[in-house]
Amino acid sequence: MKPSDPFGSESRLQPNHDSSEVPGDTREEESVGPKRLHPLTLVQRLIVSLPGLFFILWPLFRETDSTAWINLIIAGLYALFVLPWIVVYYMRFRYWVTPTEMIIHSGVMTRRERNIPIDRIQNIEIEQAPLQRLLRTAKVAVYTAGSSNAEGILEYVSIDEARDIRASVRQLQTEIKREEGWTASVGAHQSMAEKRMSVPAEREELATEPHSAVPLFQMSTQRAFLSGAFHFSLLYIAGIFSLIQYIEPDPTIFFSGLLRGPMEPWKATIDASPLTAIAFGIFAAVFLGWATGVLLTVNKNYRFSITLQDKKLHRRNGLLTLAEGTIPLKRIQSLIIRTNPVMRFFGYYRLEVQTMGIDLKESGFQLAAPCARQDEIEPFLAAIGGLPFPTDWNPVSPITMRRFSLRYSGLVVLALAGIYYFFPEIFPVAWLGLLVIPVILRLSVARYRNMGYALGDKGLSIRRGIFKQHIWLIPIGKSQTFTLGANYFQRRLGLENLYIDTAGASPMVAAELYDIPAETAHSLLESLYSRFQRRD
Amino acid sequence: MVCHGVPGAGRFAAGPRLSNSYFDLFPPIFYPMISLSEKPSSFHDMKELAPQIVKIWRLKSGMWLGVLFVIALVVDVINFFDTEKMLPFGVLPGLVILFCLGFVLWIPRLRFKYWRYALRPTELVLIRGVFNRVYTIVPLRRIQHLDVSQDLFEREYDLGKLVIHTAGTRSSEVILPGLRLEEAERLRDEMKKVITDEAL
């Protein structure tokens, strides 16, 4: 493993030609030094760039157009930039595999050296499109944890070279594994691979003895209907619209056709008083939404069951489409408990697990219990070794109420000022928007009451949300990075936000704790991080 | 303030210790400004970026705001004879120029002033941000892979950028800009050593 200096002119501008252009090197040579892509890459990239050129030149082929010469110039410029770019990209690209890492140097304008440690590599894919099959080349995509995009892409190498890379990486991984095993047998450490999240799939230990399936949560038909009752769907609107489209193009004729015969008195009522009609319409809309919600949810949650077997969660659910899923416990990052006001009132929660996998199918949020009571969730959490269902919540700083109400009242006032300046004619009505401000104040109180955290032995729980409440259970061993943040106003008020990143966390609804007093935030972070380190 | 577990934590907690009741009694305007000079020494122990990064940030933001200025100028010239226009001639480009001065001269300077990093035995610690100040701990064993990159501007000043990839979502890319290229490569090699040696 030589120290690389690709930006220094020597190593990048004078490549070692000997190792690069011979396809099918032996593995010893492979781990020696930088290598180039297959020379046919140039041809393939050129072919890929041709449709763009054709598109630009299209007016020339079509007819004698007086402005077509402009396209000719654009095509010339395109060729002037794209062709050198293809060549320079090829010239700049280097990759090689050392015993500890895979190194890729790339980039024309922005140059990049990428180092991917061998034991972080989760998967290597070799892809061959028809053109590549024809030229006996392949695209190699190297995946690491956490991201669904390939971190290292080699476009293109010869197919033999691609297989060599994969084989040598796998061999190096087993060597690393063996060395770790050796260390463990000596007794210096436990196997690190156990604790690291980046254990490649091949290295995962198979379950030693087959365990019997332990049922964790099951839903009766009654419960499936109950879970449906908490849901609301607007899908029926799409249904009605498509129905109208097919039956009768004019909706008025459609409705008058609908209100016929025995419905005649209804029509009279609607004609007599539009207000009744509006009330009836709203009632119908709510009822339809609720009924659709029930039907959809029952279809999805019918006979929902989740069992634990061989350190994996097995899930089965569905009425019309039977869905099955498997979640290895190792892949579970944090657990999310969600409720809405109605569910909370009746004491029901929805449990989701956030997972991280090699491919997109395994990543994201998977339903573990659509509608469960707290006393059903608690044994579930205990069985999978998660954080307990938190009961004592620590509040955040009450100043958060003031910040929230000031922020949104400010926005309302700003919007009204804009209306006053630009559209003075609607201002006499628009100023009624000030009535929103008391609502904002009430919401700020609800938000404060619902926000809190609980620090336990296994990790941190965070609760947040005004109407729809989220509870995140973040195991300390699954945290990726620790972040404290405070904007200008928060710094003046002595407040900070705490965010612990986990693999596969939602970027939209982040498990972030807002407006904690700075001192508390620091001691919280301190105890969390020292626990994280102790797990080492 | 001594923080055992977290090196550098507590950089926000400066000045007098204020209890919550204090906050409730007085309006925020009376609270002391939390300034850098009051910060615990850990902030000052951390490393600054290379000062050339200020020029690069100025160049980059200057380019974008230059485009904005040209657009504003064109809009203003087109509406020169418009009798019902809202702003008199020259106000819009003038505002853009003021904006430019703020963003091109002042903000990069502040960004530089508040950027700190430190590589410790088990973690990388970053502090950054002018308006929104953020403190991040990246445990080294959470690193998935590392990039050192250099764009055209950075090449001019022999600077580089270290990009740390983790499996997280928001922190899937932690960017450490404005390092001398050899410093970036040194940091990368040190982190790499921790990752790959950990197994042995």
Residues B177-197 have pLDDT tens digits of 999 999 999 999 999 888 877
Q: Is residue A431 part of a domain?
A: yes
pLDDT at A485 over 50: yes
- Within 8 A of B180 by CB-CB distance, chain A residues are none
Q: Are B69 and B175 in contact (CB under 8 A)?
A: no
Pairs across A and B, CB distance < 8 A: 207
Question: What's the pLDDT at A359?
Answer: 53
Tell me: do A375 and A494 sit in the same domain: yes
CB contact under 8 Å between B199 and A179, yes or no, is: yes
CATH number of the domain to which A145 belongs: 2.30.29
Q: How far is A27 from chain B (nearest CA, A)?
A: 21
Mean pLDDT of chain A: 81
What CA–CA distance (Å, rounded) separates B52 from B150? Answer: 14
Question: What's the pLDDT at A441?
Answer: 95
Question: What's the pLDDT at A254?
Answer: 63
User: Sorting pLDDT into bands at 50, 70 and 90, what band is A56?
Assistant: confident
pLDDT at A196 over 50: no
CB contact under 8 Å between A483 and B171, yes or no, is: yes
Structural domain range at position A32 = 9-37+93-182
Cα-Cα-Cα-Cα torsion A419, A421, A426, A432, nearest 10 degrees, comes to: 50
Q: Which of A415, A446, A477 is the last residue of a domain?
A: A446
Question: What's the pLDDT at A158?
Answer: 92
Q: Is residue A201 part of a domain?
A: no
Name the more confident of B1 and A525. Answer: A525
Q: Is residue A376 part of a domain?
A: yes
Among B1, B2, B6, B146, most A C-beta atoms within 10 A, so best to mutate, is: B6
Tell me: do A453 and A428 sit in the same domain: no
Give the closest of A110, A487, A501 to B131, CB-based.
A487
Tell me: do A489 and A393 sit in the same domain: yes
Contacts 24+ apart (CB under 8 A), A51-58: A52/A78, A52/A82, A53/A78, A53/A79
Q: Is residue A58 part of a domain?
A: no
Q: Is the peptide bond before A156 cis (omega within 30 degrees of 0)?
A: yes
pLDDT at A195 over 50: no
Q: Is residue A459 part of a domain?
A: yes
Name the more confident of A468 and A267. Answer: A468
If 0-12 CB within 10 Å is exposed, 13-18 middle and 19+ buried, where does residue A162 land? buried
Tell me: do A247 and A295 sit in the same domain: yes
User: Sorting pLDDT into bands at 50, 70 and 90, what band is B200?
Assistant: very low
Question: What's the pLDDT at A8?
Answer: 41
Query: Is the whole model's pTM more than 0.90, yes or no?
Result: no
E runs forming strands in A107-151: 111-117, 121-127, 137-144
Q: Which of A301, A334, A361 is the last residue of a domain?
A: A301
Tell me: do A149 and A272 sit in the same domain: no
Interface list for B 31-70 with A (CB within 8 A) = 31, 33-34
Question: What's the pLDDT at A506?
Answer: 81
pLDDT at A71 over 60: yes
Tell me: do A102 and A26 sit in the same domain: yes
List the A152-158 sheet strands across, edge first: A121-127, A137-144, A152-158
What CA–CA distance (Å, rounded) separates A160 from B62? Answer: 49
pLDDT in tens, B151-161: 999 999 999 99
Q: Is residue A215 part of a domain?
A: no
pLDDT at A453 over 90: yes
Q: Which of A250, A280, A301 is the last residue of a domain?
A: A301
User: Sorting pLDDT into bands at 50, 70 and 90, what band is A432?
Assistant: confident
The H or E element that residue A192 is part of is: helix A192-195
Q: How far is A480 from chain B (nearest CA, A)?
A: 6
Tell me: do A528 and A514 sit in the same domain: yes
Lowest-pLDDT choice from A317-326, B72-81, B125-134: B72-81
ipTM surpasses cut 0.90: no
Q: Are A497 and A520 in contact (CB under 8 A)?
A: no
Tell me: do A335 and A469 sit in the same domain: yes
What CA–CA distance (Å, rounded) separates A255 from A251? Answer: 6
User: Sorting pLDDT into bands at 50, 70 and 90, what band is B23?
Assistant: very low
pLDDT at A6 over 70: no
Q: How far is B81 from chain A (nearest CA, A)?
A: 21
CB contact under 8 Å between B12 and A356, yes or no, is: no
Please state, in angstroms and as integers, the Cα–Cα distance from residue A91 to each residue in A9, A11, A157, A183, B154, following that order: 13, 12, 14, 42, 21
The share of chain B scoring above pLDDT 70, in percent, equals 74
- Within 8 A of B200 by CB-CB distance, chain A residues are 179-180, 183
pLDDT, mean of residues B137-153: 92
What CA–CA distance (Å, rounded) separates A425 from A430? Answer: 9
* Chain B nearest-CA residue for A118: B196
Interface list for B 155-194 with A (CB within 8 A) = 155, 160, 165-172, 174, 181, 185, 188-189, 192
The share of chain A scoring above pLDDT 90, in percent, equals 33
CB contact under 8 Å between A115 and B188, yes or no, is: yes
E runs forming strands in chain B: 116-119, 123-128, 133-139, 143-150, 159-166, 173-180
Interface list for A 169-198 with B (CB within 8 A) = 176, 179-180, 183, 192-193, 196-198
Tell me: do A164 and A274 sit in the same domain: no
pLDDT at B78 over 90: no
pLDDT at A252 over 70: no
User: What spatial distance separates the first Cα and last Cα of chain B, rounded to whole Å?
Assistant: 36
pLDDT, mean of residues A68-92: 86
CB contact under 8 Å between B171 and A501, yes or no, is: yes
Give the closest of B141, B145, B188 to A196, CB-based.
B141
Tell me: do A382 and A419 sit in the same domain: no
Q: Is residue A220 part of a domain?
A: no
Interface list for B 122-161 with A (CB within 8 A) = 122, 129, 131-139, 141-152, 155, 160
Tell me: do A18 and A113 sit in the same domain: yes
pLDDT, mean of residues B49-55: 94
Among B19, B56, B135, most A C-beta atoms within 10 A, so best to mutate, is: B135
Tell me: do A373 and A350 sit in the same domain: yes
Question: What's the pLDDT at A185?
Answer: 47
Q: Are A106 and A112 in contact (CB under 8 A)?
A: yes
Q: Is residue A71 part of a domain?
A: no
Nearest of A110, A74, A75 to residue A89 by alpha carbon: A110
Domain count of chain A?
Answer: 4
pLDDT in tens, A358-385: 555 555 788 899 999 999 999 999 998 8
Q: Between the ranges A232-246, A260-274, B42-56, B88-102, where is the mean pLDDT highest?
A: B42-56
What CA–CA distance (Å, rounded) separates A417 from A431? Answer: 9
